[in-house]
Structure 1
């Protein structure tokens, strides 16, 4: 994550915000008092929230772990060609 001073951020606000949104890379902005904040696109913030939700949900994490184990052993659900085409949009 890149870091920039609040003064440089203010002077280049439009350009820096566009970079954060287009590159999907957060930007840390530091203040003189030592406090800092992070600029993050709304889409990236929503993805982070979804990830946190999954990581905090024990049932979902167990389901993922079980799925990984069955996959390692070549077991579990296998989609047919029609289902794969629907998923991939072919």
Structure 2
């Protein structure tokens, strides 16, 4: 019987890639709206995208687009989300080794 795990990992990887692209696009759109004086994406939405797994895209959007780099507490919250997710990955890897 073939293992189903490779397909689960592939689906997870595709999801994380997709949510990161969406998070980056949201940061880009919000930056564009800020420059044009249009209605903005709520910070809660941007942080939710990061929390849903889009942290790489959110951090890339923040750094590359220079968007919300000085805004507190947003910057701290995004950093805590990234730290929590990194710790989760380390814990899951440690469990997989045992």
State the TM bucket, normalised to the shorter chain: 0.3 to 0.5
Name the larger-Rg structure.
1
Q: TM-score, normalised by structure 2?
A: 0.32
Looking at secondary structure, tell me which structure has more strand per residue.
Answer: 1
Looking at secondary structure, tell me which structure has more helix per residue.
Answer: 2
Higher RCO, Cα 8 Å, sep 6+: 2
